Amino acid sequence: MSYIDFYHDQDKAILSKIEKQPEFLVGHRAMSDDELKSLSPGEFADPVNRMFPISSRAETWRSIAYFNRQGPELIQKTAALSHKSAQEREQTRNLLAKAAQLWGLEDDEVEALSGFVTLGVLKKAEAEPGPGVTYGGTFVPVTPDTANTVACDFLRHAASMDRDIAKNTAGMLLKAAASASAELPADTSHKLQVQAGLGTCTAREAANAIFKVVPHIPHRAAITKVLSETRRALDKLPEGKLLLASQVSSLSAILSKAGTQYNIPHIAETLSSMRTVTPAVIEAGLNVRLDRVKLPGGVRASKAAIARNAEWLGTWLSNTHQAEAYTPDEIIDTLKKLTPVEILPLRARIGA
């Protein structure tokens, strides 16, 4: 048994269960078959099966209402869902939740949507061997030994995938790696976070992204005015000011929709350019700052390099300066007493 949306509900049995509808849905005209076919995969919460359209505020609300009416029934009527099936339903739920935020939907239906977050915790899913991700139609386990291999394989194919699917998969990969206590290389974590939409950018980078997109949009299109006003607001901010991730997400959603509607080239690269500052980059920068130690003459040494070469440095300081310094902290204290000229021969050993 699988979910169905308004357009696959032949006898409208589920529609009859939706007693209360918002005012903006009253009189809303259902899409024709041709209109439905013209939607891009990214305008469906289930892009693989082209179900649960999220192309407008009304369509998104109705898709959420349909999803909500079927969750309890599916759990009761299906003895056990496969892990893959549970993952697919969770992907659909996530995309519906994000679409609700994009269209500004806040009512009981949207609140009820969060109630299905544990849909994947079912008997058969619990039997699966630990954390993993549904990728390429197959459930792939993620372990400390395989996490980086799985992540790199996904990243090689991410550019050719539907953007919403790639974003969802990247997010699940990060969660699976965390659940498996797998340490991903900083560069891999950064790239996954870019795909998952967790990064941000400076005001200048956001303005540049708009600059690349606007020329491809008809001048009379309403979205052109919105983007132009947004760019003017960004131009008033300091160039290096970091935007909130939520602000970047809102702008990315607008640019993504424009990219699909007007077939704008290189839209994926443009959206990625707005995710240059990720948690991985921030953490790496913090680690670098914590690792650095300031020595005379403005020399910046590395605590890690000093620790690696502690034996050599201790011997050198003893022979040349008669200093009793053997632990990394003792060596640093001694180095701070030297002149920049005396430190010069040690630069390679102290990571300066």
Confidence of residue 119 (pLDDT cuts 50, 70, 90): very low
Which comes out higher in pLDDT, residue 138 or 15? Answer: 15
* DSSP element (H, E) containing 280: helix 279-291
Confidence of residue 267 (pLDDT cuts 50, 70, 90): confident
Q: Rounded mean pLDDT of 301-325?
A: 84
Cβ contacts of 97 within 8 Å, gap of 6 or more: 110, 113, 114
Q: Report the length, in residues, of the chain.
A: 352
Q: What is the pLDDT of residue 297?
A: 76
Q: Is the pLDDT of residue 82 over 70?
A: no
* Global confidence as pTM: 0.47
Which comes out higher in pLDDT, residue 86 or 330? Answer: 330
Confidence of residue 125 (pLDDT cuts 50, 70, 90): very low
The domains of the chain are located at 6-126, 135-195, 203-277, 285-350
Backbone angles phi, psi at 219, to 5 degrees: -60, -30
Q: Rounded mean pLDDT of 20-28?
A: 83
- CA angle (5 as vertex; 25, 246 as ends), nearest 5: 70
Give me the percent of the chain exceeding a pLDDT of 90.
Answer: 9
What would the two tokens of residue 71 be?
């969750």
Q: Is the pLDDT of residue 80 over 80?
A: no
What would the two tokens of residue 22 be?
């918002």
